[in-house]
Chains A and B, each alone.
Chain A
Amino acid sequence: MLASAPAPAPAAGEATPVEPIPGGSSARWVAALREQGRHPELAAFLGFLVPGLGHVYLGRTLKGAVAFVFLVGLYAAGILVSQGECVSLDKQNGHPYAFFAQVGAGLPTGLALLHSHSYEVKRALGMEAERPSEPNVESPDYVGRLPKLDEGLLYTMIAGLLNLLLIHDALMGSPGSALRREEEKRRASARSGTPSAATAAAGLAQGAA
C-alpha cells in the first residue's frame, strides 16, 4: 500500500527521475502506524484524556513525558493559584466560555469540574450536600482573589489549547520531520539511482517506529 511500482532505471548520463510520492505525509504516517498495529485515533483520545499519553502509546515516550510535565504542570498551577475556582460552568460565578479552551485537557478538566460542581454532583447521586454560599462579589477578600483567578484561567486555558495541538500531532504526525526524512531518502535514492517512493515510505515508517 505504501510503495508504488519501481520505475525503470535511467539511461547512462541521464538524470535520475524523482517520483512524486502519492498522498500527503500525514496520510502515509497514519498508514505506517496502522501497519505497526497502532491506532492514531486511540492515541488522540488518550492524548485528550491525559496530555502526553497518546504519544507514549505511539512509542514517542520522551515527547509524551515532556508534554505531560509541561501541560499537566501548567494546568495544576492554574488550579492551585485559583484554589480550584477557574474551572466552572456556573453562569453567574463561573467561566463557561473559558471552559471551551480548558476542555482540551480532558481528564484534568473533568476532575476540576467535579470539584467545582461537587454540590450538583452529590445531589444528582442522591447524596446529602450542603449548598455552597453565594460569594459576596464586593468583599475585599473576593476582589483580592480576582487576579489569581485570572491567572488560573489563563494557565488552564493555555494548557487546554496547547493540548489540542498535541492531539493533532498524535493523530496526524509531525509533517516537518516526515517531510525531511522523505527528502533525505529521495535524495539518497536519486544519488544511488534506485526508485524513491518505496524507500521514502520506508523512511516514514522508520520515523513512526
Chain B
Amino acid sequence: MIDLLSFAAVCAATAFVCTAVKEDEPSRLGGSSLRVFGVLAAGIGAFALVIQVFTMLAG
C-alpha cells in the first residue's frame, strides 16, 4: 500500500511540474495535471503489468 502511495505521489509531482511549465492559468493547470497524471500512472502501470505477465510466462 505504501509503495502504491509513493508511486502515486511521484507521478502526481511529476505530472504537476511537467504541466506547470506549459500552463499558467489555474483553471487549466488542474485539469491538465490530472490528465497527465492519468496518462503517467496508467502507462507505467500497464508497462509493469506487461512485465509481470512476461515474467510469469517465462517462469
Contact call B17/A165, Cβ cutoff below 8 A: yes
Residue from the list A60, A74, A166, A207 in contact with B9, Cβ < 8 A: A74
Q: B10 contacts which chain A residues (CB < 8 A)?
A: 74, 154-155, 158
Q: A151 contacts which chain B residues (CB < 8 A)?
A: 6
Stretch at the interface among B21-29, B39-47, B48-56: B21-29
Bound together, the chains give a CA A92 to CA B6 distance in angstroms of 29
Known A73-B9, A77-B9, A155-B10; contact A166-B20, beta-carbon cutoff 8 A: yes
Contact call B17/A174, Cβ cutoff below 8 A: no
Contact call A66/B24, Cβ cutoff below 8 A: no
Contact mask for chain B residues 25-39; partner A; CB cutoff 8 A; 1 contact, 0 none: 110110000000000
Chain A residue nearest in CB terms to B29: A63
Chain A residue nearest in CB terms to B5: A77
Known A63-B29, A77-B6, A155-B10; contact A70-B17, beta-carbon cutoff 8 A: yes
B interface, over-half SS = helix
A interface, over-half SS = helix
Q: A159 contacts which chain B residues (CB < 8 A)?
A: 13
Bound together, the chains give a CA A62 to CA B12 distance in angstroms of 16
Known A63-B29, A77-B6, A151-B6; contact A162-B13, beta-carbon cutoff 8 A: yes
Q: B16 contacts which chain A residues (CB < 8 A)?
A: 66-67, 70
B6 to chain A, nearest CB (A): 7
Chain B: interface residue count, which band? 10 to 19
Contact call B23/A174, Cβ cutoff below 8 A: yes
Bound together, the chains give a CA A128 to CA B17 distance in angstroms of 43
Number of A-B contacts (CB under 8 A): 65
Q: Most chain-B Cβ atoms within 10 A of its Cβ — which of A162, A168, A175, A178?
A: A162
Chain B residue nearest in CB terms to A178: B24
Chain A: interface residue count, which band? 20 to 34
Q: B6 contacts which chain A residues (CB < 8 A)?
A: 77, 151, 155
| Chain B CB within 8 A of A41 CB | no
Residue from the list A70, A154, A177 in contact with B24, Cβ < 8 A: A177
8 additional A-B pairs beyond A173-B24, A174-B21, A207-B24, beta carbons within 8 Å, are A70-B17, A155-B10, A162-B17, A165-B18, A165-B21, A175-B22, A176-B23, A177-B23
13 A-B residue pairs with Cβ-Cβ distance under 8 Å, sorted by A, are A62-B26, A67-B20, A70-B12, A77-B9, A151-B6, A154-B10, A155-B6, A165-B17, A166-B17, A174-B24, A177-B25, A207-B24, A207-B25
